[in-house]
Amino acid sequence: MMPDFVTILSDKILSDNWGKLHKIEYKHTLPNGQSYTDVREAYDRGNGAVILLYNIAKGTVILTRQLRIPTYVNGNATGMMIEACAGMLDENDPEECIRRETQEETGYTLTDVKKVMEVYMSPGGVTEILYFFIAAYSNAMKTGEGGGLEKEHENIEVLEMPFNKAFNMISTGEIKDAKTIMLLQHARLEGIL
């Protein structure tokens, strides 16, 4: 059993809006026995899931485009981002979540999904673990319009595009979303498309 190298001294909630922003004071004991006390903020918005839909016969992928206010604040002129379909787990397990999100956002009802990895996306300040999936899609799986949920103020555009075009959009800067880049690179490295 590993010794306890971290002791939480205090945990104060600074904000409890969409997620919780914690101010955490902690003591960290180093392997040499020395210790120090520090303070960090950690944003807890829950965990999420993301999926890349691909069609081998057509050589295409399904992505989405939607407004992301933090990118607008940081200089993205329109705030619009091209991304793989994703969502928060809420009370669902990751696979249930991604099936639901895929239906809501893209209109596709999936049969088989494959988990490919789990990733802390920004471990220096955000608690979120993101579960990554891939799934084949076909036209027959299109059972709805997609576009997201009106009650969540989602206005999601569904994009079907050639895989090579999407992959090249990484180097042109048209795709800047880390989770999407990781899934596109995974598909290339695994020879899926």
Output the known binding site for Mg(2+).
Answer: 86, 101, 105, 154
Q: With 0-12 CB in 10 A as exposed, 13-18 as middle and 19+ as buried, what is 68? A: middle
Q: Which residues are 8's β-sheet partners?
A: 26
Return the exposure string of 16-54: e unless at least 16 CB atoms fall within 10 Å of the residue's CB, then b. Answer: eeeebbbeeeeeeeeeeeeeeeeeeeebeeebbbbbbbb
Cα dihedral 131, 19, 158, 138, rounded to 10, equals: 30
Q: Which residues are annotated as a binding site?
A: 86, 101, 105, 154
Q: Which helix (H) or strand (E) element contains residue 187?
A: helix 178-189
